[in-house]
Amino acid sequence: MFDRSQQRRRRVGLAGAAAMAAVAVAACGSGTQSDSGGSEIAGAGNVTLTLKHITDNQPAFTKLIAEYKKVAPNVTIQPSYAPVDDLQTSLRAQLGGGNAPDLFVVWPGNGSAMSVQQLAPAGVLADISDQTWIKNVPENLRPLLGSDGKTYMYSSGVTPIGAIYNKKVFADAGVTSPPKTWNELLATCDKVKAAGKTCIALGNQTPWITQLIPYAIAPSTAFKQDPNLAQDMLDGKKTFSNSGWRTVFERYLELDKKGDFNKSPNGTTFEQQQAMVGSGKAAMAIQVTSVATGIQDAAKDKSDIATFPFPAADNPDDLKIPAGVSAGLGASAKGKHLEEAKKFIDWLAQPKQMAEYAIANQSIPLVGAEQAPLSDIAKPFTSFLTEGKTVPFMDQQWPNAKVQPAHFAGIQDLFAGKTDVDGLLAKLDEAYKQK
């Protein structure tokens, strides 16, 4: 057990933690599928579990739920899926009303209303600390999966943020290879625009999209200036206003002023962003790698869609990327079939299933990553993970759930001309100080 100040120190000690995921120790006899056979997992009676998760993870769950039916034939899992913003509000309301699904999406760390460190103290998440797979998660990542030293959620792996791009659009614009520096990115966008296409599709009407480009810029700018920035902010030594965060938002606006985004980003949705890149109307989107599946589905030829690390640094040797523990799964503490729900989580968390999930979700598995195959979408980011050139998603290290919505709204105001960088930084500092 540890108090709030200890919890803060542990959380921010993760500055290089995402790198550990790529070299996680494989599970050693800790309960693989063969260890937990059908006779062990299956209960005596028929059970139906409800599951609610984000739309992008539907392909992964569809496959794994079908496999679990073979392992536990008495268990039927009824899934439903919705966009991130819908779930952030609807699930929290269900949890407050005592009618939550048996299993539901939970975010790691402390950055949103549906993050584990917000939900666990409220008593709505089941404690799964006794599950054997947890000991094989890199030690410095474990705090992101729980609160007060206990584990309350499963995550399949680590998800990078990078550029998902259409190779045909690049080729038609005369771009022979992905850019590796900030200036090369600007030059690439000039070529794409000259070819009559949008360079970067941006869907800021969907609030969570607003944060992704700042997260992609920050590791090579704000965190280059101060590698301990997250801890320094928690300790009160730095703020948004007196740190490299100013450079982050200035570069974000630079892209906008150059016309590198589509018209009216605040009027463009996430779904439209995906369609623009898939159809070839735009060259790229800055996104979590899991979104690549939807963009591939929108493309005439899936092989046209690929990824590269977002080049936010002036020197390629200085480039770092954001890579965070992926949104995962928790069990309702008040669920009618809690034991069966926990068994499903334990089965999902074994190396074989983690690898399958990570491939389907275009991410890197949290356990057994050394042996796991990776999708072509995830592969360009693995060297950054193994070399320690990553920074966890910034919201996973913020002290409350108020900074993230302030960030969303502040970016939309910035693009609408309702505030400037100074105003945005002040609003973020105000939210950061709240309890």
86 or 368, greater pLDDT: 86
Tell me the pLDDT band of 372, cut-offs 50, 70 and 90. Answer: confident
Q: Compute the distance between CA of residue 100 and CA of residue 310 in angstroms, rounded to an integer.
A: 38
Question: Is residue 133 in some structural domain?
Answer: yes
Q: Which of 210, 209, 216 is closest to 185 using CA atoms?
A: 216
Residue 33 scores a pLDDT above 60? no
Q: How confident is the prediction for the chain on average, in pLDDT? A: 88
Whether residue 56 is found in the same domain as residue 167: no
pLDDT value at residue 16: 36
Residues 126, 103 contacting (CB under 8 angstroms)? no
Whether residue 152 is found in the same domain as residue 164: no
pLDDT value at residue 359: 87
Question: Is residue 194 in some structural domain?
Answer: yes
Question: Is residue 383 in some structural domain?
Answer: no
pLDDT value at residue 31: 32
Whether residue 122 is found in the same domain as residue 170: no
The packing angle between helices 245-257 and 421-432, to 10°, is: 140
Whether residue 338 is found in the same domain as residue 312: no
pLDDT value at residue 112: 85
Whether residue 316 is found in the same domain as residue 267: yes
pLDDT value at residue 404: 94
Whether residue 192 is found in the same domain as residue 304: yes
CATH of the domain at 218: 3.40.190.10
Could you write out the three-class secondary structure of the chain? CCCHHHHHHHHHCCCCHHHHHCCCCCCCCCCCCCCCCHHHHCCCCCEEEEEEEEHHHHHHHHHHHHHHHHHCCCEEEEEEEECHHHHHHHHHHHHHHCCCCCEEEEECCCCCCCEHHHHHHHCCECCCCCCHHHHHCCCCCHHHHEECCEECCECCEEEEEEEEEEHHHHHHCCCCCCCCCHHHHHHHHHHHHHCCCEEECCCCCCHHHHHHHHHHHHHHCHHHHCCCHHHHHHCCCCCCCCCCHHHHHHHHHHHHHCCCECCCHHHCCHHHHHHHHHHCCEEEEEEEHHHHHHHHHHCCCHHHEEEECCCCCCCHHHCCEEEEECCEEEEECCCCCHHHHHHHHHHHCCHHHHHHHHHHCCCEECCCCCCCCCCCCCHHHHHHHHCCCEECCHHHHCCCCCHHHHHHHHHHHHHHCCCCHHHHHHHHHHHHCCC
> Residue 245 to residues 67, 241, 248, 428: CA-CA distances in angstroms?
45, 7, 5, 10
pLDDT value at residue 263: 96
Question: Is residue 380 in some structural domain?
Answer: no
- Give the global pTM: 0.78
Of 43-52, 269-278, 321-330, 378-387, the range with the highest mean pLDDT is 269-278
Question: Is residue 198 in some structural domain?
Answer: yes
pLDDT value at residue 324: 87
Q: Compute the distance between CA of residue 128 and CA of residue 153 in angstroms, rounded to an integer.
A: 7
Residues 325, 145 contacting (CB under 8 angstroms)? yes
Residues 182, 311 contacting (CB under 8 angstroms)? yes
Q: Which of 17, 69, 79 is closest to 38 using CA atoms?
A: 69
What percentage of the chain has pLDDT greater than the value 70?
89
pLDDT tens-place string over residues 286-305: 999 999 999 999 999 999 99
Whether residue 357 is found in the same domain as residue 312: no
pLDDT tens-place string over residues 240-269: 999 999 999 999 999 999 999 999 999 999
Residue 76 scores a pLDDT above 50? yes
Whether residue 81 is found in the same domain as residue 131: yes
Residues 36, 347 contacting (CB under 8 angstroms)? yes
Question: Is residue 384 in some structural domain?
Answer: no
Whether residue 30 is found in the same domain as residue 150: yes
Question: Is residue 375 in some structural domain?
Answer: no
pLDDT value at residue 20: 33
Residue 222 scores a pLDDT above 90? yes
Cβ-based neighbour number of residue 229 at 10 Å: 23
pLDDT tens-place string over residues 102-112: 999 999 998 88
pLDDT value at residue 13: 35
Q: Report the alpha-carbon angle 340-343-344, nearest 5.
A: 90
Range of the domain at 144: 24-156+326-369
Q: Compute the distance between CA of residue 381 and CA of residue 324 in angstroms, rounded to an integer.
A: 12
Whether residue 226 is found in the same domain as residue 249: yes
Q: Compute the distance between CA of residue 82 and CA of residue 52 in angstroms, rounded to an integer.
A: 8
Domain count of the fold of the chain: 2
Question: Is residue 32 in some structural domain?
Answer: yes
pLDDT tens-place string over residues 144-195: 999 999 999 999 988 999 999 999 999 999 999 999 999 999 999 999 999 9
Whether residue 316 is found in the same domain as residue 411: yes
Whether residue 151 is found in the same domain as residue 190: no
Residue 282 scores a pLDDT above 50? yes
